[in-house]
Amino acid sequence: MLNRSLKVGIVCPYSWDTPGGVQNHIRDLTEFLIKAGHDVSVLAPAIDESNLPDYVVNAGKPISIPYNGAVARVLFGPVAFARVRQWIAQGDFDLLHLHEPAIPSISLLACWAADGPMVGTFHAAAKRQKIIFAIGPILEPAIEKLSARIAVSEAARLTLTDHLETDAIIIPNGIYATRYADGNPQEKWSGNAIGFIGRFEEPRKGLSVLVDALPVISRFAPDVKVFVAGPGDPEEVIESIDPQLRHRFEFLGRISEEEKANFMSSVALYVAPNTGGESFGIILAEALAGGACVVASDIPAFDDLLGHGEFGALFTSENPTELAKIVIDLLRDEEKRKALASRGKAHAQLFDWTRVGDQIFSVYEMSMVGSQKVGLASDTRPWNRFLNKEEKP
């Protein structure tokens, strides 16, 4: 890393107090940089200001919008633009790191508001969306202002090239691999136990696929149990399960990072039946690091992360019959299951922050070559055009 301490401004587009992979990535990156001696300020929308870390500046309360098969809580508009400009003006930053700057959010506002070294990280993997084409003429000049572009996976890179005809280098999401490697197996999650972690109420997380596979799985593994962790109300899901199979499901609610490590080291299989909308699959990397044998749908991001089946078993997305077949095979063959888990655990080291953090920082160094500090842009015409307002003198 550079010999001098940097002042880095990071913009998070999504509500800080809503669980999500982007928020987790930004949190871990920030703490990695702070531990390395750098001064970091994160600008993010938040619903509850009382529990924010010291390094987070609240940009205001977000609104909920449908996006990429889920609900995104973002902040946008004239008041937000003023707050972004104030944060940039007061920050005296050496560099800005903007996450998801291609969606209407404070990351895009910061791209419009600032001049100087700026790095953009693109997380989303999505089909071609009409909204992008509608605002493309406004987005493209903003994206061109970025000194460097990072995509967290090949799926995210292809989304970027597909929507905006620009490219990015691939640096994956980071995890603290050793944190999950030190999990203690728990008797309550042992045996023929299947694990699932995620916002199970979101259809794209695919819990319904696992539910549909369970009648066949339970026929061949009569003692199978499914442990579901994550935020949400399980009542509606429970109602969708065959009454004779409901006793096989246990909903744990949110679990801590320590509990997650124990969970991954305990379950026989970790299943990720997601149906789409994933750009990386950080929970898969965590599961691998924790020593779990992973079974996942073959959506592009998961297929890539699992080495096309070398580090985890893959089934055809939204196919419960094929999922059941793979689960039964692995539950019956302990040696095969352990071998797959062992390869996956070694593979997970590629995503450790000691490696990923240095890769990101090398992009920072490249972006700052020959550049001045971050300042306010004198030209705000893109913002005015987006609002369909005439430029003020």
pLDDT in tens, 282-317: 999 999 999 999 999 999 999 999 999 999 999 999
**Do residues 236 and 271 touch, judged by C-beta distance below 8 A?**
no
Residues 141 and 170 in one domain: yes
Residues 208 and 315 in one domain: yes
Q: According to the model, what pLDDT value does residue 382 have?
A: 63
Looking at residue 222, which CATH number applies to its domain?
Answer: 3.40.50.2000
Residues 272 and 216 in one domain: yes
- The model's pTM: 0.86
Question: What residues make up the domain containing 290?
Answer: 177-350
Residues 317 and 211 in one domain: yes
Q: According to the model, what pLDDT value does residue 128 have?
A: 57
Side-chain half-sphere of 66: how many Cα atoms within 13 Å? 5
Q: What is the pLDDT of residues 339-371, one digit of tens each?
A: 999 999 999 999 999 999 999 999 999 999 988
DSSP string, 237-305: HHHHS-TTTGGGEEEEES--HHHHHHHHHH-SEEEE---S--SS-HHHHHHHHTTPPEEEE--HHHHHH
Low-confidence ranges of the chain (pLDDT < 50): 1, 130-134, 389-393
Give me the number of domains the chain comprises. Answer: 2
Residues 278 and 382 in one domain: no
Residues 308 and 360 in one domain: no
**Is 2 among the domain residues?**
no
**Is 392 among the domain residues?**
no
Q: How many CB atoms lie within 10 A of CB 154?
A: 18
Q: How many residues does the chain have?
A: 393
**Is 235 among the domain residues?**
yes
Q: According to the model, what pLDDT value does residue 69 have?
A: 60
Residues 260 and 304 in one domain: yes
Q: According to the model, what pLDDT value does residue 383 have?
A: 64
Q: According to the model, what pLDDT value does residue 25 have?
A: 94
Residues 107 and 141 in one domain: yes
Residues 152 and 279 in one domain: no
**Is 133 among the domain residues?**
yes
